[in-house]
């Protein structure tokens, strides 16, 4: 059976993996909603931000900036440092 | 010959070789040749890790083929390319700490090592090694063609001579250095790409008379160019969204990426790599593909998509600067090729030879064999690339899809689902590869409407079916399950 130390490392790993999945879903919704929400209009009705069509600006440019900021916040706030090597943990934990 | 552009490119290549040779000293001093040659001794820091992942992923598909397609399709293709931002954080977060901890326990050096220890099944190992060899071969050919095209457009040499120069430099470099050399130079290359794409984008915008001007030129030529739907209106939301699997989250299952996700030093390196990786990948993808779109009004009528990048660089910049900036895609291609070569040779040497042919081969023999096979593989790919298709991106994406369909569930569920077993893994790989490859043959083309519903990319259905195959077969075979590693 795994030791307690082992469990706590895996619990952290599992939680962080779920955060990754959450981020990707948010990322996808943002990207999709702006691209096809604003981009499906007739091109005559497009408005422009920094010279780029608005759907593109919000979906790709702003979307990227938002994701970069979110990732920084998530990693700094929620990610925990754990040791990887067996020497760093007490004893042998497999089987 | 355009010497003013070629010299900076050569200087760059020489620097790369120097780093490779420096790194190779570590290979000689390290006590485990395998660990060092294929993993760099699990010692990568955050910056190097982020850059090596970016450079490996941001391969010829994004740097030569990608902008080439953006040139024909317009902003819709940039939208598609932005699905790759997800790779920057998703891969490291999901494989994450669990993969790092487990592979260390298993003493796994490659993805196949991990699968072998996790499932304890020769069938899984052989099928994995086989799919890596087949699919990565097609990916490699795509990269070589990209590299040769770049040299061809830059120097005016014939395609064959260009391919020869490219192949020679890659081979010398990778056989000498191994993984650490590749990872270190990836860091240099990643940085060059980051700066290089920005410089080129700015130069293109200036040459085109500013963004509003370029956009209105594009709209005047074909209004579809500035919509999300592609030049002919053929990029449907379902098709573009399915690239989130192909080049976004599915990338997790690519062996060359997974190898990197076990090579870092500690969790701090990993955290840094997630942040740096996300920013760098997003930045480079956005810039590179915008360059492709913006190049259109400035340099219309380029028929071979792969040549868009080199030609636009030579058009809008002084030759010496174009040489330096083109070092960026060159860098991307070289590093991808290098790591693919290493992977295929590690599959042959470690996963097949050491497992089943000669388990007790002495270190010296393993070393000779690794280097020898790497070189032979390079020569075979060279021959394959002599007569290439025009758009490398499809070849490359084909290979990616196959590997993803094969490996995504055996890796991810193998890590996080205790009940997953070898039967499930094997069924999942067979279902994934089978459904992905078969419809490509005429005989089975009746499967196409099933495997590509709603016009999605062919990767989606195999990945979904492979998931159910893994879960159902694992559940049905629970009581047969013995002797597998219970660490997960």
Chain A hits for B283, CB-CB cut-off 8 Å, are 64
Structural domain span for residue A73: 21-81
Q: Integer distance in angstroms from the first to the last C-alpha of chain B?
A: 58
Ranges of chain B whose pLDDT falls below 70? 1-2, 13, 16-17, 20-21, 23-45, 56-65, 175-184, 328, 331-332, 388-397, 440-454, 480-488
Q: In whole angstroms, how far apart are CA B33 and each of A71, B42, B363, B407?
A: 36, 12, 7, 27
Residue B359, domain member (yes or no): yes
Judged by CB atoms closer than 8 Å, whether chains meet at B85 and A43 is answered as: no
d(CA A2, CA A4): 7
CB B187 within 8 A of CB B48: yes
What interface predicted TM-score (ipTM) does this complex get?
0.85
CB B289 within 8 A of CB B70: yes
Q: How many CB pairs under 8 A join A and B?
A: 140
Split at pLDDT 50, 70, 90, the class of A89 is: very low
What pLDDT, on a 0 to 100 scale, did the predictor assign at position B370?
A: 80
What pLDDT, on a 0 to 100 scale, did the predictor assign at position A86?
A: 57
Residue A59, domain member (yes or no): yes
Residue B122, domain member (yes or no): no
Phi/psi for A48 (5° steps) reads -125, 140
What pLDDT, on a 0 to 100 scale, did the predictor assign at position B21?
A: 64
Residue B485, domain member (yes or no): no
How many CA atoms lie within 13 Å of B32's alpha carbon, on the beta-carbon side? 11
Rounded to the nearest angstrom, the minimum Cα separation between A24 and chain B is 6
Residue A63, domain member (yes or no): yes
Domain count, chain B: 1
Closest CA to B245 of B459, B434, B14: B459
Domain count, chain A: 1
What pLDDT, on a 0 to 100 scale, did the predictor assign at position A26?
A: 96
Residue A91, domain member (yes or no): no
Chain A hits for B214, CB-CB cut-off 8 Å, are 51
Among A5, A7, A20, A50, the strongest candidate for a mutation testing the B interface, having the largest count of B CBs within 10 A, is A20
Residues ≥6 apart with Cβ < 8 Å to B139: B59, B336, B340, B395, B396, B399, B400
Closest CA to B400 of B220, B138, B205: B138
Residue B450, domain member (yes or no): no
CB B60 within 8 A of CB B336: yes
Residue A40, domain member (yes or no): yes
Residue B83, domain member (yes or no): yes
Judged by CB atoms closer than 8 Å, whether chains meet at B212 and A80 is answered as: no
d(CA B69, CA A47): 25
Residue B130, domain member (yes or no): no
What pLDDT, on a 0 to 100 scale, did the predictor assign at position A69?
A: 96
Judged by CB atoms closer than 8 Å, whether chains meet at B94 and A17 is answered as: yes
Chain B hits for A24, CB-CB cut-off 8 Å, are 86, 89-90, 244, 248-249
Residue A57, domain member (yes or no): yes
Closest CA to B32 of B465, B370, B436, B418: B370
Residue B163, domain member (yes or no): yes
Q: Which of B96, B97, B226 sits opposite A43 (nearest CB)?
A: B226
What pLDDT, on a 0 to 100 scale, did the predictor assign at position B115?
A: 92
d(CA B232, CA B126): 43
CATH number of B78's domain = 1.20.1730.10
d(CA B440, CA B55): 29
Structural domain span for residue B177: 3-110+136-393
d(CA B481, CA B476): 10
Residue A43, domain member (yes or no): yes
Chain B hits for A67, CB-CB cut-off 8 Å, are 85, 89, 278, 282
What pLDDT, on a 0 to 100 scale, did the predictor assign at position B215?
A: 93
Q: Which of A16, A50, A51 sits opposite B96 (nearest CB)?
A: A16
d(CA B364, CA B262): 25
Rounded to the nearest angstrom, the minimum Cα separation between B145 and chain A is 29
* Chain B residue with minimum CA distance to A43: B223
What pLDDT, on a 0 to 100 scale, did the predictor assign at position A56?
A: 94
Residue A94, domain member (yes or no): no
Judged by CB atoms closer than 8 Å, whether chains meet at B78 and A43 is answered as: no
What pLDDT, on a 0 to 100 scale, did the predictor assign at position B387?
A: 72
Residue B418, domain member (yes or no): no
């Amino acid at each position: 059976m795994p030791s307690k130390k082992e469990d706590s490392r895996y619990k952290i790993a599992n939680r962080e993996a779920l955060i990754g999945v959450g981020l990707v879903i948010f990322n996808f919704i943002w990207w999709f909603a702006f691209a096809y929400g604003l981009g499906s209009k007739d091109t005559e009705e497009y408005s422009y931000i920094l010279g780029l069509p608005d759907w593109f600006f919000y979906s790709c440019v702003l979307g990227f900036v938002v994701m970069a900021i979110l990732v920084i916040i998530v990693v700094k706030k929620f990610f925990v440092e754990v040791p990887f090597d067996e020497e760093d943990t007490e004893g042998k934990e497999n089987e | 010959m355009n010497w003013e552009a070629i010299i900076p490119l050569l200087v760059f290549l020489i620097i790369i070789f120097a780093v490779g040779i420096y790194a190779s000293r570590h290979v000689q001093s390290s006590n485990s040749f395998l660990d060092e040659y294929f993993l760099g001794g699990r010692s990568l820091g955050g910056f190097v890790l982020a850059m090596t992942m970016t450079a490996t992923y941001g391969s010829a598909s994004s740097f030569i083929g990608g902008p080439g397609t953006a040139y024909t399709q317009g902003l819709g293709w940039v939208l598609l390319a932005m699905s790759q931002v997800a790779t920057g954080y998703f891969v490291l977060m999901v494989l994450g700490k669990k993969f790092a901890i487990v592979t260390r326990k298993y003493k796994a050096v490659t993805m196949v090592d991990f699968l072998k220890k996790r499932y304890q099944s020769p069938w899984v190992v052989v099928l994995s090694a086989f799919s890596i060899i087949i699919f990565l071969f097609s990916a490699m050919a795509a990269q070589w063609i990209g590299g040769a095209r770049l040299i061809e457009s830059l120097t005016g040499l014939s395609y064959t001579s260009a391919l020869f120069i490219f192949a020679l430099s890659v081979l010398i470099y990778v056989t000498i250095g191994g993984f650490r050399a590749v990872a270190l130079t990836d860091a240099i290359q990643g940085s060059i790409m980051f700066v290089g794409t920005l410089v080129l984008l700015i130069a293109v915008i200036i040459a085109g008379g500013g963004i509003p001007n370029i956009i209105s030129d594009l709209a005047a030529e074909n209004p579809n160019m500035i919509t999300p739907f592609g030049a002919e209106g053929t990029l449907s939301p379902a098709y573009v969204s399915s690239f989130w699997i192909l080049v976004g989250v599915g990338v997790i299952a690519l062996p060359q990426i997974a190898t990197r996700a076990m090579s870092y030093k500690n969790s701090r390196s990993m955290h840094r790599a997630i942040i740096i990786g996300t920013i760098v990948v997003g930045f480079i993808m956005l810039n590179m593909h915008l360059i492709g779109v913006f190049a259109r009004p400035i340099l219309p009528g380029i028929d071979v998509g792969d040549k868009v990048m080199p030609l636009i660089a030579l058009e809008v910049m002084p030759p010496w600067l174009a040489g330096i900036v083109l070092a960026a895609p060159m860098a991307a291609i070289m590093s991808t090729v290098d790591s693919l070569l290493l992977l295929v040779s590690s599959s042959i040497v470690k996963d097949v030879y050491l497992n089943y042919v000669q388990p007790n081969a002495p270190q010296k023999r393993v070393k000779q064999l690794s280097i020898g096979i790497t070189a032979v593989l390079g020569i075979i790919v060279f021959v394959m690339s002599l007569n290439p298709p025009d758009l490398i991106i499809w070849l490359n994406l084909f290979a990616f899809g196959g590997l993803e369909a094969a490996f995504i569930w055996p890796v991810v569920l193998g890590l996080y689902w205790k009940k997953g077993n070898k039967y499930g893994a094997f069924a999942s790989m067979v279902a994934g590869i089978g459904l992905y490859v078969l419809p490509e043959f005429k005989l089975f083309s009746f499967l196409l409407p099933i495997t590509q519903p709603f016009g999605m990319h062919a990767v989606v259905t195999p990945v979904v079916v492979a998931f159910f195959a893994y879960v159902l077969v694992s559940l049905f075979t629970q009581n047969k399950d013995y002797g597998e590693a219970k660490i997960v």
